[in-house]
């Protein structure tokens, strides 16, 4: 299933996209799409309904983050060898972990705000994992049992804050609007192989990232298992799995970054597309 949340910020309603691409309302069945609705039994019950009986939603409403009540966003850095090289770093022996504040969450097509004074706001197309059941000290062989589905994400980053402000990547990752997610949550049955997803990103129509999750250093089971050794992963938590090469920091012959008026467009196989306008803010 492709589950969405639509409507104005703070007043989103649950919905889904049917096989014909029609947006249908789920609010008669669910109060929202969040931790309580990501349980396997609930998702299985949803998958069994006749979606043609659900009311259609007319027009093109705003789409919000497809998961409500996200408790934490855990990110994996340098998870593609080509991105590590363009950052001037060695591929890591273990996953590099950092956090992104939940206040950074936004809809897939909402404006992205460049922080006042920022000169190094950057882009990162990523596959996101959404946790469906609690995971603590899970083995790799069992890790996928805890995954509700997958999302497209843009891990927007302010590189000066990330690298030049005394350490701690979180500073450069957590500004408001720096975590556009969606358009939909593709449930696990919609994604037969999370290691075969093509990811791409364009800035003002120029393709700058063109990668694939085939090139992960640490795959989805490894990432979920590894993180669960350090913290419990709860339903609704989101894991961002890293970005392929082509970020602004790695552009040749010189880095270049986002500015107000730029337009970012990104997509992933089976995960839909996002479009964001960059604004001052």
The model's pLDDT over 95-127, given as tens digits with 9 standing for 90+, comes to: 999 999 999 999 999 999 999 999 999 999 999
The model's pLDDT over 29-54, given as tens digits with 9 standing for 90+, comes to: 999 999 999 999 999 999 999 999 99
Per-residue model confidence (pLDDT) at position 76 = 97
Mean pLDDT over residues 229-235, rounded?
98
* pTM (2 d.p.): 0.96
40 near 133, Cβ under 8 Å? yes
Mean pLDDT over residues 196-210, rounded?
98
Share of the chain above pLDDT 70, in %: 100
Buried-exposed string 133-144: b where 16+ CB fall within 10 A, e elsewhere: bebeebeeeebe
Mean pLDDT over residues 133-143, rounded?
98
Question: Domain limits of the chain?
Answer: 67-280
The CATH number given to 67-280 is: 3.90.850.10
Q: Does the pLDDT value for residue 241 go beyond 80?
A: yes
Partnered with residue 97 across adjacent β-strands are: 76
């Amino acid at each position: 299933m492709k589950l969405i949340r639509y409507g104005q910020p703070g007043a989103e309603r649950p919905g889904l996209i049917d096989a014909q691409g029609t947006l249908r309302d789920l609010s008669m069945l669910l109060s929202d799409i969040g931790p309580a609705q990501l349980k396997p039994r609930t998702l299985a019950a949803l998958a069994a309904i006749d979606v043609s009986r659900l009311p259609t939603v007319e027009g093109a409403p705003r789409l919000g983050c497809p998961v409500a009540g996200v408790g934490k966003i855990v990110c994996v850095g340098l998870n593609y060898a080509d991105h590590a090289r363009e950052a001037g770093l060695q591929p890591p022996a273990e996953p590099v972990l950092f956090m992104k504040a939940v206040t950074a969450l936004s809809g897939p097509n909402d404006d992205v705000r460049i922080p006042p004074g920022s000169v190094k706001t950057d882009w990162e197309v990523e596959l996101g994992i959404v946790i469906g059941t609690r995971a603590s000290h899970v083995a790799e062989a069992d890790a996928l049992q805890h995954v509700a589905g997958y999302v497209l994400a843009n891990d927007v980053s302010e590189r000066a804050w990330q690298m030049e402000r005394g350490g701690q990547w979180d500073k450069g990752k957590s500004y408001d609007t720096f975590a556009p997610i969606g358009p939909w949550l593709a449930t696990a049955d919609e994604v037969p192989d999370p290691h075969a997803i093509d990811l791409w990103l364009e800035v003002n129509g120029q393709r700058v990232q063109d990668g694939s999750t085939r090139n992960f250093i640490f795959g989805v089971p490894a990432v979920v298992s590894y993180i669960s050794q350090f913290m419990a992963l709860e339903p609704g938590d989101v894991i961002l799995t890293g970005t392929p090469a082509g970020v602004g920091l790695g552009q040749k012959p010189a880095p270049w970054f986002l500015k107000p008026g730029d337009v970012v467009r990104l997509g992933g196989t089976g995960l839909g597309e996002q479009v964001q306008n960059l604004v001052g803010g």
